[in-house]
Structure 1
Amino acid sequence: MQLVKPVGREAAARKYDILSALMAYALSQDKHCQRRVLRLMALITTRYNWKRDELAMGQEEIARLWSVDTRTVKREMARLKGQGWLVLKRQGARGRVSVYGIDLEKMMEDTRPAWVNIGPDFVARVDPPAAPAPADNVVPLRAAAPPVQDGTLWARVQERLHGEDAALYGAWFGPLQEAGVEDGCLILLAPSRFHASYVQTHLAARLVAAVQRLDPSLRDVRVEA
């Protein structure tokens, strides 16, 4: 998705949409994730500069806001950076605190599976369907045949993905093969490195959502070449 930046006349509404997505996502996760997202929301609502995409706040200040010690701050900030939601823009030095940006597009893509919990009006507003291209430029995708059912989890997930969008399934999901489960993560094999990278970058949230609907014990999906 291409997120409309929360600036201009509709900035307030867009900010509420982003915070709503975070809230719905947190409520669908375990208590540890809920607490981490709540802490991030506290930073966003108190110190984040939306226009400049800057979060500048010292560790002691963050610890006071979160009612924790600085070791917890370091650990949680590292996890948010590892998740790709926080981006270090300038490393802190003597007398200066570190400055972070927030990857709003990554954050919204990760929270996508929980949008439906808010309502279809929210989904349509945050990620409206793209306008159709001119007829001369349209290259139709060939819809693939339904997957063969063999009783495995991946076959059932494929059936669901095919039912949602047969053309998308044929282009990207159909060629994937199950390689096993490791530490709550379903591992899939793609026919090429590019194929794996594209699915992991652009379709991972949709893939994870489909898998978790059928097996909530799986927390993630990894696509490898």
Structure 2
Amino acid sequence: MLATKAVGRNASALKYDLLTVMGAFALAQEKGRQVLVLRLMTLITARYNWARDELAVGQREIARLWMVDERTVKREMAKLRAMGWLRVKRQGARGRVSEYSLAIERILEDSRDRWGDVGPDFEQRLSGSEADEKIVPLPIKGKIPTPDLTDASDWGLAKAILHEEDPALYAAWFAALERRERAGGRLVLGAPTRFHASYVASHLGARLLNVCRGVDAGIDEVQVIA
């Protein structure tokens, strides 16, 4: 199950997972609920302090962000509290704004029916069934192309090995990675999106490093960036 605080080594991937389930949930709702969740997602992205699990923003500032009046902000924040998605950490008083925390476990519970629609790997990760460290690759249509074996670079050889070990997993997560640079023992790979980079680093990083080390013992770190 996704942690209830997005901090630590896998923080980036956890944040993307949470925003993904919120978006998927919203898209299955009626227009009013869609707008409400979109507003919360925007507020989280702009102002949520993940490390402190805290949202402390004044109604006037939220009104500007949402392009509504403060009365609407008050009503929408009350709706989010009623849903159980926001919790009051400290009630505002004497010029202090109210402080909220994000009820991640409740958001996951409410959005569970949409996990499988995002993808089998996503559902497996959030359901906590990764205890055996098996990663379910995204469905790949058509034949999986073999890497160019004439590329004898460190990454070229590593790609060939990854393809041979698990073609589907290779096609889903490793094929799109490109060699950016090599600085001493650090190999830097580029991913097509930030989510792709975060997922590979969080869930496939150890496998990636082991294969690269097998090709070149001088590699002691593999960094994946977008």
TM-score by length of 2: 0.56
Distance in 1 (alpha carbons) for counterparts of 2:131 and 2:26: 31
- What's the secondary structure of 1:49's corresponding residue? coil
Which structure is larger by alpha-carbon Rg, 1 or 2? 2
Letter of the structure 1 residue corresponding to residue 25 of structure 2: Y
Distance 1:12 1:32, change over 3 A: same
Identical aligned residues as a percent:
59
Relative contact order higher in (CA < 8 Å, ≥ 6 apart) = 2
Structure-1 residue corresponding to 2:27: 27
Q: Partner of 2:97 in structure 1? A: 97
Q: How many residues align?
A: 132
Which residue is equivalent to 2:124? 124
Once the two structures are TM-superposed, the CA of residue 3 in structure 1 deviates from its matched residue by 3.0
CA RMSD of aligned residues (A): 1.6
Using a 3 Å threshold, how does the CA distance of structure 1 residues 15 and 2 change in structure 2: closer, same or farther? closer
Spell out the pairing of 1:13-162 with structure 2 (5 A cutoff): 13-129=13-129
Match of 1:54, SS state, is: coil
Between the aligned partners of 1:65 and 1:75, the Cα distance in structure 2 is 15
Q: Distance in 1 between matches of 2:2 and 2:116?
A: 18
Cα deviation, 1:88-129, whole Å, max 9, x if unaligned, reads: 011111221000011101111111111111011100112222
Cα distance in 1 for residues equivalent to 2:69 and 2:103:
26
Cα deviation for residue 5 of structure 1 reads 3.0
Q: Secondary structure at the match of 1:7?
A: coil
Task: Provide the secondary structure at the position in 2 that maps to 1:101.
Answer: strand
Shift of 1:4: 5.3
State how far apart, in whole Å, the 1-side matches of 2:2 and 2:21 are.
15
Task: Check whether the contact 2:2–2:126 (CA below 8 A) recurs between aligned residues.
Answer: no
1:203 corresponding residue in structure 2: none
In the aligned structure 2, how far is the partner of 1:63 from the partner of 1:13? 29
Equivalent residue of 2:87, what SS?
strand
3-state secondary structure, aligned to 2:100: strand
The one-letter code matched in structure 1 to 2:9 is: R
Per-residue CA distance 1:138-194 (angstroms, 9 max, x = gap): xxxxxxxxxxxxxxxxxxxxxxxxxxxxxxxxxxxxxxxxxxxxxxxxxxxxxxxxx
Q: In structure 2, how many angstroms separate the alpha carbons of the residues matched to 1:127 and 1:7?
A: 19
Consecutive unaligned residues in structure 1, runs of 5 or more: 133-225
Inter-partner Cα distance in structure 2 for 1:5 and 1:79:
22
- Where does structure 2 lack aligned partners over 5 or more consecutive residues? 133-226
Letter in 1 for 2:8: G
The residue number in structure 2 matching 1:6 is 6
